[in-house]
Structures are given as C-alpha cells and as structure tokens.
Amino acid sequence: MTARPFDALSLAQLRQRSSLKWQHYGPDVLPLWVAEMDVRLAPEIVEVLGAAVRSGDTGYPNFGGTYKEALRHFAGERWDWEPDPADMLLCADVMSGIRAVLRRFAKPEGAVLIPSPVYPPFAMFTREIGRRVVPVGLTEAGRLDVPAIDAALGQEEPGHRADREGRTIVLLCSPHNPTGVVHTADELAGVAAAAERHGALVVVDEVHAPLVPTGTAFVPWHTIAEQGYVVTSAAKAFNLAGLKAGLIVGSAGAGALLRRMPESIGYGGSHLGVIGHAAGYRAQPSWLDDVNANIADNRVLLSELLAQRLPGVRYRVPEASYLAWLDMRGLGLGADPAGVLLRRGRIALTSGLRFGPGGAGHARLNFACSESVLVDAVDRMAHAVATQAEMGAQVPGAGGGESSDSPT
C-alpha cells in the first residue's frame, strides 16, 4: 500500500473498469460523480475473495454470522462500541435495509422526516414504498437543525410503541452525504430526545462512518440512544458497493423484533459480499488509515485548486468521507451547474437537484481520486465556466441538452 493509494492506478487502468462510474458516460468524460473510490482493494479482501472463487465457495450466504462478528470487532476497535450480533440482521445493502425498516415501522402514507439536502435514494425509496417525505432543512452551517426536526415531529401524529407499526420516522445520514458533516454527540442526543418526546423512531445510515479522519470523532447512534436502527456496511470504506451485503443493527435487545422481520430481507446479500465485507472489517487498519490520509490531503488540495481557478465556488471542507458539496450559485450556471459542466467541460458531477430542497445551484464532486485527476477536474470545470461566459448563451434548464441527472 502506498502513502497515497489513489495514485496507485493510472487513468488508463481506471477506464478499463466496467463499473457504473466508469462506463455510464463516454470515454471523453472525467467521472467524479458516483461514490466509488479509485483505489485497489485491501489485500485481505483480495485474498479471501480469490480463495473463495478458487475453491468454488460461491454458494448461498450464511446470513452473516462472521460478518456480524466482524462489525462488532471493527466498531469496538474504532469507536469503543460493540454491538451484539444477536441484534443484527443481514440485508442486501444499506438502502434495502432502510427500505425494510421503513416498511415495518412507518404506516402507509406515514411521515419520514429527512434532513435535506441529502443522499437522493432516501427520498426516492421512501416515496416508492408509499411513505411521505417531509424534508427538514439543514442549518446555514450545513448541520442538523434539531429545533426544526423537533417542530416537524410535533406536526405529525403521535407515534406508537417500538414494537408497533405506524411510527413517524426520522431518517439520518451519519456522517452526512453530501455535506460531509460529522454529527456531534449533542446533535444526536437532541434528535433522540425529540424523537422520544413525539414517539418517533430514528433510522440512521452510518455507511460513511469509517471514513472519518484522525482528529474528528464519529459518534455511533447506538452509543447515544437506546432506540432506533442503524443500517450500515463496509461498502463505502472498503470500496465494495458491487458486493452486496449490509447489516441492520438494532438497539440492545432488539434481536427478537428483528427476527420477526420478513426472512426475505437477507436474500439479496451475496455470499461473496458477506465474505468481502467481513474481511474489510477484519483487515489491518493500515489500509484504511492510508485511504483516510489520502482523502484528507485531497480535501485540502481541492480547496486550494478551487481558490486558484474557481474562487466563485463556495466549498466548506467536509469533516468526513470523500464527497465535496460545491455551492456554485455565484457562477451564473443556473439551477443545475453539473449539467453545464458536463456539456462544456466533459466532467461528470452529481446534480445538486437530486439531493432535494437546498440542492439547486449545487453539485457533488467525488475526490477519491489521484492528484492528477483532481487537477484535471478543476481545470475542466474552470474551462466550462469560462466557455459558458464567453458564449453568453442562456443556461439550459435542468434536463436540457445532455443531462447530469444520473444514478448516484
């Protein structure tokens, strides 16, 4: 492993990948959109997956026994939190786990409060299963607005006991995607107290949690609150999105309730996914530490590059993960600057419009890439902005021409 793992692969090598990130757009587009890192896998993951394939160990998953134990080990080492495997349930991935919990606890047309802007599938999946999205804005600093969450909960019908359907849900992303904010213990405690007052249930996506650098403290939900569900996996931290395996983690003693969930919830998790995710959690910490150090370097590099080439972009350096939430409203590129950048600069970012209220005029950039790719990215963005200004053309509306509206 190099000190800068994102520099280990050339752009030519990356373009040989068949994943969505590299194949959704044409070969002239630089893709810095979907949350996937330009990195080699941890050696331990390569070893166990290779051994499984060579031996023909490619059958049905065992519903995650070793995976659950691996999460317990990892969380204990990283955050001094040791969730009981008896209070965990295998699911296909984080969003399928969230969908299962929403189906179980939110009544049809029931409210799901979502601090926004946020990861687009939160609202998409909520609506798909017939639940009602209630967006709650973030603060000016991009943090959880606890009083606003409390007030929104107060507008909904009272919830029910923890073992009954029909509760209002607060759906959190921790750390937050796309802003990279790491919620504090006080913020999470405030949400927990508001949920308790109003009989609501809190569901938390913690998939980005391992991607918090030294010096910033990630606070697991279950170290703050005695209720709710965490849904997580090793997918983001160890670049395993293509190997499906997630875990729903209940509060202490929630195992009996989880076992009453439909058995089919775990069917989407793959055997190789379970093996790979468990190996990531059990891997030597040096691989993840190097990745986090490279992410920290790139956070600073992106800030410097934007200051030099695009000072009109507002960029608050994220506290976690490798996603930059870029405020481009000062550039005159309209509601969907990602669409302009794709057309004029042949660079793919994720449109801020997809993240819900507060996303207009923004774009999300994935900087889990080499230094040279990041430099090229900002150069392309600056070229696109200059070209748009020189042409004096009217900015197309969202969806006009070649759109940036694509999977996330």
Kindly state whether residues 99 and 170 are assigned to the same domain.
Answer: yes
Spatial separation of the C-alpha atoms in residues 142 and 150, rounded to whole Å: 17
Kindly state whether residues 48 and 27 are assigned to the same domain.
Answer: no
Report yes or no on 329 lying in a domain. Answer: yes
- The residue that leads in pLDDT, 89 or 259, is 89
Spatial separation of the C-alpha atoms in residues 124 and 104, rounded to whole Å: 17
- The residue that leads in pLDDT, 15 or 266, is 15
Position 214 scores a pLDDT of 87
Q: Indicate the pTM of the whole model.
A: 0.94
- The residue that leads in pLDDT, 204 or 265, is 204
Kindly state whether residues 63 and 181 are assigned to the same domain.
Answer: yes
Kindly state whether residues 25 and 134 are assigned to the same domain.
Answer: no
Kindly state whether residues 267 and 292 are assigned to the same domain.
Answer: no
Last residue within a domain, chosen from 282, 313, 346: 282
Kindly state whether residues 232 and 272 are assigned to the same domain.
Answer: yes
Identity at 59, one-letter amino acid code: G
The model's confidence at residue 393, banded by pLDDT at 50, 70 and 90, is very low
Kindly state whether residues 82 and 186 are assigned to the same domain.
Answer: yes
Q: What is the mean pLDDT of the chain?
A: 93
- pLDDT tens per residue, range 162-196: 445 679 999 999 999 999 999 999 999 999 999 99
Mean pLDDT score, 202-230: 96
Position 397 scores a pLDDT of 44
The model's confidence at residue 259, banded by pLDDT at 50, 70 and 90, is confident
Phi-psi region of 350 (alpha: psi -120 to 50; beta: other; left: phi over 0): beta
Spatial separation of the C-alpha atoms in residues 281 and 284, rounded to whole Å: 9
Spatial separation of the C-alpha atoms in residues 179 and 320, rounded to whole Å: 9
132 Cβ contact list (under 8 Å, min separation 6):
109, 110, 111, 112, 126
Report yes or no on 407 lying in a domain. Answer: no
Kindly state whether residues 97 and 34 are assigned to the same domain.
Answer: no
Overall number of domains in the chain: 2
The model's confidence at residue 405, banded by pLDDT at 50, 70 and 90, is low
280 Cβ contact list (under 8 Å, min separation 6):
42, 44, 45, 70, 234, 237, 238, 240
Report yes or no on 127 lying in a domain. Answer: yes
Spatial separation of the C-alpha atoms in residues 324 and 365, rounded to whole Å: 5
The model's confidence at residue 407, banded by pLDDT at 50, 70 and 90, is low
- pLDDT tens per residue, range 125-171: 999 999 999 999 999 999 999 999 999 999 986 655 444 567 999 99
CATH number at residue 141: 3.40.640.10
Kindly state whether residues 64 and 169 are assigned to the same domain.
Answer: yes
- pLDDT tens per residue, range 273-329: 999 999 999 999 999 999 999 999 999 999 999 999 999 999 999 999 999 999 999
**In this model, does residue 404 exceed pLDDT 70?**
no
Percent of the chain with pLDDT over 70: 93
Percent of the chain with pLDDT over 90: 84
Position 253 scores a pLDDT of 86
Report yes or no on 399 lying in a domain. Answer: no
Position 396 scores a pLDDT of 46
Kindly state whether residues 267 and 295 are assigned to the same domain.
Answer: no
The least confident of 5-9, 232-236, 350-354, 396-400 is 396-400
Q: Which domain holds residue 119?
A: 44-282
CATH number at residue 345: 3.90.1150.10
**In this model, does residue 394 exceed pLDDT 90?**
no
**Are 156 and 198 spatial neighbours (Cβ–Cβ below 8 Å)?**
yes
- pLDDT tens per residue, range 110-120: 999 999 999 99
Report yes or no on 366 lying in a domain. Answer: yes
Report yes or no on 260 lying in a domain. Answer: yes
Kindly state whether residues 235 and 139 are assigned to the same domain.
Answer: yes
The model's confidence at residue 361, banded by pLDDT at 50, 70 and 90, is very high
224 Cβ contact list (under 8 Å, min separation 6):
185, 188, 189, 192
Position 400 scores a pLDDT of 37
Position 158 scores a pLDDT of 62
Kindly state whether residues 106 and 180 are assigned to the same domain.
Answer: yes
237-256 in b/e form (b: 16+ CB < 10 A) is: bbbbbebbbbbbbbbeebee
Report yes or no on 405 lying in a domain. Answer: no
- pLDDT tens per residue, range 63-92: 778 999 999 999 999 999 999 999 999 999
**Are 191 and 172 spatial neighbours (Cβ–Cβ below 8 Å)?**
yes
At 402, give phi and psi (nearest 5°): -80, 120
Report yes or no on 231 lying in a domain. Answer: yes
